[in-house]
Amino acid sequence: MKTKVLVAMSGGVDSSVAALLMKQKGYEVIGVFMKNWSGTKNEYGECAWREERKIALKIASLIDIPLLTVDFEKQYKKKVVEKMFENYKKGITPNPDIDCNQKIKFPLLLKLAKKIKADYLVTGHYARIKKEKNKFYLCRAKNENKDQSYFIYRLTEGQLSKIIFPIGDYTKSQIREIAKEHAFPNFNKKSTVGICFIGKINLKKFLQKKITSKPGKILDPNGKEIGKHDGVYYYTIGQRLGPRYGFDIKKPNEKKMKRWYVALKNTKTKVIVAAPENHPLLYRKKIIIKNPHWINPLKNKNIEVFSRIRQVGELIPSKLSFNKKTKKFEVVLKRPITGISEGQAIVLYQGKKCLGGGVINFK
């Protein structure tokens, strides 16, 4: 009797090849397409998910597997999109892709896999799972430039025992070549960009649908007004300012200081503090971890780690410690970096293994 697997198929080349590889290995493969968002239209005014589903159906037909379709839009709107708006209103920058994986994609598909008596859930993530002495560990992909462990750091060890990532040992070019060899229509399809299931959008306009514009001042590091903004919620720490980005600011020493960035913002006073590149205000070295999640229990709460604060961002040598007084985990980076914003995720590694991580906080 063949081992049955449920493969999440998005219409993209990665999940398509994941399904193919499982079929080639002799598994009984059942595909599943998730409808999570119908608000994004393609150039013909058609809901984008319909176009993606057509591709998934075509792939399923080519490799001779059934394709189920499930509708998780209600859950996605409530647990991911509405939560995203709430966080932006608080002045923090969330990562909806991580929320989607934690609250929608993996728990609901694992539940479906159990319902149809599938032994494993398969996805096209660039990540790997290693089993050592009956313990399951999440590891970075072989192809570091495509690694997606950052987005799935909130998986549990129990979930990992029921998941397979078949493309974790491949490069993107290898995946495309496999798809081309099997005449997949999506072999050269562009990689997904933007918010998970929503796609590439103008984030500011998207936020303006739910968050009312509240203009305020832009100050320089010395407290001098240098411009106006239309709402602190629409801008994130580290974001560049200037006419290309919606408004202009009066920069001192124009020739010497061409690039200015958001350094601080205050939702109560509606003030954004901007600073020129390389200004100390733009750099941070210490991070407090809010809502920590560890995939496997930590044997030691004071260890050397590598930190990543954005997907495929630099792996920064760091020190993780537990503050007994505040009862909070803290990370001190070996050197200060720019672009760290509250609400983003910090994901920690030892070697190739992903330990887990949490939400970036400053206090």
What residues are labeled active site? 100, 196
Q: Is 200 exposed, middle or buried (0-12, 13-18, 19+ CB in 10 A)?
A: exposed
State whether residue 62 is helix, strand or coil: helix
- The Cα–Cα gap between 354 and 186 comes to 31
Name the helix (H) or strand (E) containing 71: strand 67-71
- The Cα–Cα gap between 322 and 233 comes to 31
Query: Using the 8-state DSSP alphabet, how is residue 245 labeled?
Result: G
* CB 60, CB 31: distance < 8 Å: yes
State whether residue 331 is helix, strand or coil: strand
- The Cα–Cα gap between 22 and 5 comes to 8
State whether residue 131 is helix, strand or coil: strand
Neighbour count for residue 314 (Cβ, 10 Å): 10
CA distances from 2 to 119, 127, 166, 263 (A): 10, 25, 17, 56
CA distances from 361 to 126, 257, 305, 314, 324 (A): 28, 29, 18, 19, 17
Report CA Rg, the chain: 22
- The Cα–Cα gap between 135 and 137 comes to 7
- The Cα–Cα gap between 261 and 280 comes to 12
Nearest of 342, 225, 360 to residue 290 by alpha carbon = 360
The torsion defined by the Cα of 317, 309, 329 and 281, in degrees rounded to 10, comes to: 90
* CB 53, CB 37: distance < 8 Å: no
* Residue 55 in tokens: 């591709």
